[in-house]
Every structure is written in C-alpha cells, then in structure tokens.
C-alpha cells in the first residue's frame, strides 16, 4: 500500500486512530485477532510487524545483533531502530506480555511432563 501525499487533518487522524484502538480492544479471542491480522494487513505489513516483535523479544533476551540479523533476516539499522524504542511504554508492555506467555508455555510443558510420567 502506498501512502498518499495528501495528509489527514490532525483531528481526522486522531478520530481514525481512536476508532482503530477501539477496534483492537474489542477483539477478544485469538481467532478474531488472527482473522483481523491476516485480513487487514498485507503480507508485507504482517512480516514487518512480526519481525519488529521478534526483534523486541530477542533484544530482551540479550541476543546479539548478529544472531537477530541471521534469525529474522533484518538489517542492523532495523534492529537499532527497534532497540531505540525498547524503553517506551509500548515496548515494555509488549515485553511484559511476551514474558508472561513464555513463562506459561514453559510451565505448561513442565506440568504436562510431570503428569505424563505419573499416570
């Protein structure tokens, strides 16, 4: 998608942004989120979004730029740009949610392994 050279007014931008935020907050189930993600964003936008999340997660885990570049096929400039945003509220929110999900997945594997061997 190309960006139009014709700009929205500040008020229009704010109204549309608020509608978008309301829409996102109304998505309650993972299948709704996936449908929205796949239908609303182009494949390129999906890839950019996923890579940014991946960079945030890998930086939080202390991975090197080289490892991130190789794994996610991104440039050092892209990593640096995302790294510069790691202290924003949005990035901290994302990292917190990713940490909880990671913990829950690891805990589930452990507990399922425990029950698997006990029965």
Please name the residues in contact with 46: beta carbons below 8 A apart, sequence gap of 6 or more. Answer: 37, 38
pLDDT tens across 36-83, in order?
Answer: 999 999 999 999 999 999 999 999 999 999 999 999 999 999 999 999
Count of domains for the chain? 1
pLDDT tens across 6-41, in order?
Answer: 889 999 999 999 999 999 999 999 999 999 999 999
Max Cα–Cα distance, the chain, nearest Å: 66
DSSP-based three-state secondary structure for 59? helix
Residue 98 lies in a domain: yes
Residue 103 lies in a domain: yes
Residue 66 lies in a domain: yes
The alpha carbon of 110 is separated from its chain's Cα centroid by a whole number of angstroms, namely: 26
Residue 7 lies in a domain: no
Residue 107 lies in a domain: yes
Q: pLDDT confidence of 119, banded at 50, 70, 90?
A: very low
DSSP-based three-state secondary structure for 60? helix
DSSP letter string over 39-103?
Answer: HHS-HHHHHHHHHHHHHHHHHHTT--HHHHHHHHT--HHHHHHHHTTTTSHHHHHHHHHHHHHHH
CA distance linking residue 95 with residue 60, whole number of Å: 7
Residue 77 lies in a domain: yes
Residue 28 lies in a domain: no
Domain of residue 114: give its range: 42-118
Six-digit token string for 105: 């997945």
Residue 79 burial (C-beta neighbours within 10 Å; 0-12, 13-18, 19+)? buried
Residue 31 lies in a domain: no
Q: For the whole model, what pTM was predicted?
A: 0.72
On whether the CB atoms of residues 106 and 95 are closer than 8 A, the answer is no
């Amino acid at each position: 998608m190309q960006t139009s050279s014709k700009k929205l007014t500040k008020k229009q931008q704010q109204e549309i942004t608020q509608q978008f935020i309301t829409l996102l907050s109304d998505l309650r189930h993972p299948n709704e989120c996936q449908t929205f993600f796949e239908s609303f964003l182009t494949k390129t936008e999906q890839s950019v979004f996923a890579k940014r999340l991946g960079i945030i997660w890998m930086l939080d885990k202390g991975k090197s730029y080289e490892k991130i570049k190789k794994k996610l096929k991104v440039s050092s400039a892209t990593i640096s740009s995302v790294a510069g945003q790691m202290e924003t509220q949005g990035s901290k929110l994302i990292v917190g949610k990713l940490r909880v999900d990671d913990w829950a997945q690891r805990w589930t594997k452990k507990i399922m392994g425990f029950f698997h061997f006990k029965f």
